Chain A
Amino acid sequence: MKNRILLILGLLVSVSMILSACGPAAPAEPVEVVVTQEVIVTEVVEVEREAFTTPHPILSDLKVRQALSYCTNKSDLLASVYPLTSEETRADLVMHTFIPRDHWAYAGDANVTIYAYDPDAGRALLDEAGWTLAEGATFRNNANGDELSLKFTTTSAAFRQTWAAIWEQQMADCGVRIVRLHAPASWWFGDTTGVARRDYELGAFAWVGQADPGGQTLYACDQIPFPNNGWEGQNAMGWCNEAASTNIKLANNTLVKDERIAAYAVTQAEFTKDIPSIPLFNRTETFAYNAGLSGIDPQPGEPYYTYNVSEWTLEGSDTIIMGFTQEPASLFTLVEDAFVAQLAYSLFRPNQSTGLNYDFQAQMVKQLPTIENGGTTNNDVEVAEGAKVVDANGEVVDLAPGVKVKNAAGEEVEFTGGTVVMKQLVSRFDLIDGLTWEDGTPVTEADLELGYKIACDPESGATSFITCDKTAAAEFSANGYVQTWLPGVQDPTYFLPVWPIYPAHQLGDVPAAQWATNPLVAESPLAYGPYKLVEWVKGEKMVFAANEFWPGGAPATPNIVIQIITPESQETLLLGGEIDILDSTSLVGLTETLVAAEGEGKIKTLVNPSATWEHIDISLFIR
């Protein structure tokens, strides 16, 4: 007994010691802290000057990169991961540049270099580059006897393992040895590992295409991450092409769509000429649904395929059941950005704009206020020292001598005092008529103002406040608002609505800090859209019914239910009639079961190009 008591006491003492050891350092004076930081930074700078300035001995050779492109059979890679898609569908999915081929910013096949599968051309280029294949050998060597061997890194996802195995074989057919490393996604996409630290030779992952193609952080020369710039930027390939860099910046800093299209075209032409990355293919978005369902019409570029949910009908049923393999954590979308939450939210509070076919359309506003249609003005304003502006790097700063800004002529100038004339965007957003909350209260100016107030209150739990920081003023009226941006904001998507709408008559007195935890916000928010949430059984289902106050008229189907399911059960539940729709968040692709069921007329399937596209980035420099 005595021994046991001693043992327990000993354990407690040990635990206390461990806890003490885990404790924070003794309270440090701020001065000491700063000194420590300076010492470390000095150390890092010494190393960084040498990092990533040496061209890659193999991949810096354009001929090798071209050869890799010619040796890549993108259609076969697609067939490996989507074996049940038709050849025609696969042809539509192949990518040539960093912009999907049906996107408004795509340069067009005639304006870019297309590397159609041609292994002979690839082999010839490798020969020219000095990588020759000895008699009977499988892999090429150079004059020094070095083997043409490249390390290929990607995630361990089954999808990538599948197509990577085929690509490895394709490269072997051209005499290139690929050494595959399938790393955990947590490492590959980690904040301080993998891609973020340029830790690869050839690296595969996916980007998500958007209606606004962006790209400045990916392809501009000043966006190459180095240790000494804090790894800022996403141009991990280290690609610096002056023409491409200038044009990608222009594309992201002009408000004229035609100018943007032209600038993107130049960047794409240079991109396909230099090949810092091999674009492979769009993934697919697969939908499977009850054969009696009509009206569903997912479009590339618009992730929320519920944009026309009020038009959906199901033969012989007043209820449509959507199967979700992930349950929304909260319907307060300022803090919950999961796709499923946004999708559920769109049923009762539709997005104010859509991105069908990679373009923009008004949905809850009368029009998207562009400069062309007069909804937005881009005014010249005189700005004095001390005023808040957005500088040439896109940062919100107080205007002071030394700050670089873009003047009204679009030139980058250094502020030296006095005043400077800058551009300022002012947009007017008018809501559609008749918006009314599900309890019959009309949407008012107070609701719009509350949306702005909560979105910009750091206590709300929202992640980013950059839109608030870039806002000079927001003036609200009964049917809309006028958004005035800070001088210097020249965002190409300026015409997109920015503020949410919240019911002031219900939540006006709730402090922002309590919104995330308030059930009225997170679990049973009021609707102004075609449906209202009537019941949410956690872990099981969310039940929506038609909102009688929706100005668009009664939805074609009175009830929508989101049924929470599992990936393992999704197909049996669809075939068993327990759910009516499986979307691309659940379905990775077509399966034999689904194809067979479609053949029997039980269900329909739809395969669209996804906004997500696979590519292989090429590291042009070594550490």
Chain B
Amino acid sequence: MTAYFIRRIFQMIVVLFISAIATYALLNLAPGGPLQGLRQIQQGGRFQITEDDIARIRAQFELDLSLQYRFTRWLVGWPTGPIVLGGTEYFSDVVVGCRKPVESEILNDEGQYETKVTGCKEVVYMKDLVGRRTSRGLLRGDFGLSWRLLRDRPVSDLIVSRLPKTIQLIGLSTLLSLLIGIPLGVYSAVRQYSKFDYFFTSLAFMGSAMPTFFFGIIMILLFSILPKDAGWPYVPAGLSESVRGYTIPLIGEVAAGSVKDRILHLVLPVAVLTLVQIAGWSRFVRASMLEVMRQDYVRTARAKGLSERVVILKHAFRNALIPFITIVVFTLPGLFSGAIITESIFAWPGMGRLYILALGDSDYPVAMAIFFILAVLTVIATLLRDVLYTMVDPRIRLS
């Protein structure tokens, strides 16, 4: 058991390391970033950008350092300057980047001009890193500074500001959909081809097929805007809380930011996510249950004279849950990543929106932090899944 965990943790570290390299490399290859458009600005009259301005901005965002130094500074906060041993500095004159690259226009074979870096006018040495701001490194919990969304302030501040709302939304909807979806799936399987099964199967297919975007808008129209206009009870159309107090028929006055206000704002987004998840999960449980109920050991249980309740709950349901665990544990990264579409429709200030904004605004430190945390949660979920398997299925041993 111990050897298994040691082996798995070592594998996880390797996977995370490769994931970090891949994430960093891919985002650094992507277009955009703080320098995008700067050269166009310099054409203006009162607002001109000089070569020194560009060099300074490159340095501010570490874009003047070579990729591997940027990577290690992001990962472990090193190097921060020459190594000092016994009062002597080593590697001071190692070149770690280029402050002012020489860019030339080259006409390529296709007749297109290409800008290529063909040299360096002014290099950055290891000794120049002394005194530069840097993060303490991802491995020490420092995700660095945001380039754009929270300009020059910690990425962790952004994540901390969004995470509670996402956990609230995704956690609640996941819990509700499990509580509702599993019994529905079991019931549908047990009463296969009954009216309920047909009805619920139809609903589930509709739920799975209907885009969340459309579903959300319909919900807002049906339960917020139309009833409000008609003077009936309604729920707020979006946001996580109101700025102004309001009055809802039958419910009464709702103070802005009160618990009642927050609960009312949760209703629609949670309902949308829950209904969509119920549709998928109940179908999965139903299929799994149907498969298990055809197994010999279920037939044997029935032959032993056990009550149908015991057969279903103890013999069938427990075994049907084994494949279901695979799906459920992977809601763990979902708790962090949020629900992009639902958050957008309801203006919910969660991680999903943050993720989209980070990519859209080329705020790569934020995007990289989200990617990395998702990678960590995914490998943890994988481990958790394997451990849970051994708990629900006695045939599986970790060793």
Contacts and interface: CB of A to CB of B under 8 A. Distances in A.
A411 interface: no
Contacts of B114: 192
B127 interface: no
B347 A465 contact: no
Contacts of B347: 564-566, 568-569, 573
A538 interface: yes
Contact of A564 (B48, B146, B349): B349
Contacts of A252: 45
Contacts, number: 218
Contacts of B148: 329
Interface residues of B, number: 88
A493 B44 CA distance: 13
B37 interface: yes
A227 B105 contact: yes
Nearest to A515: B152
Given A27-B123, A540-B349, A576-B225, A40 B213 contact: no
B346 interface: yes
A122 to B, nearest CB: 32
Interface in B345-366: 345-347, 349, 353-354
A517 B237 contact: no
Q: Is the interface of B mostly helix, strand, loop or mixed?
A: mixed
B14 interface: yes
B118 A36 contact: yes
Q: Is the interface of A mostly helix, strand, loop or mixed?
A: loop
B236 A43 contact: no
B40 interface: yes
B344 A234 contact: no
B68 A491 contact: no
Most chain A beta carbons < 10 A, residue from B14, B114, B150, B151: B151
Interface string A229-264: 001111000000000000000001000000000000
A33 B120 contact: yes
A461 interface: yes
Contacts of B298: none
Interface stretch (B90-98, B302-310, B384-392): B90-98
B47 A11 contact: no
Contact of A463 (B45, B53, B107, B153): B53
Given A40-B119, A464-B48, A335 B104 contact: no
B158 A538 contact: yes
Interface stretch (B238-246, B329-337, B375-383): B238-246
Contacts of B43: 217, 232-234
Contacts of B130: none
A577 B53 contact: no
B152 A191 contact: no
A370 to B, nearest CB: 17
Given A217-B43, A568-B344, A329 B146 contact: yes
A565 B239 contact: yes
A134 interface: no
B227 to A, nearest CB: 11
Which 7 A-B pairs rank lowest in CB-CB distance, beginning with the nearest? A576-B237, A539-B349, A538-B161, A192-B115, A569-B347, A329-B151, A516-B152
20 contacts: A24-B66, A25-B95, A27-B123, A37-B121, A44-B107, A186-B31, A192-B115, A252-B45, A458-B56, A464-B48, A465-B50, A466-B46, A467-B46, A523-B153, A565-B238, A572-B217, A576-B224, A576-B238, A578-B236, A578-B242
Given A464-B47, A523-B153, A576-B225, 12 more contacts: A26-B95, A27-B95, A36-B102, A37-B104, A44-B106, A191-B36, A192-B114, A197-B113, A461-B60, A463-B57, A540-B239, A569-B346
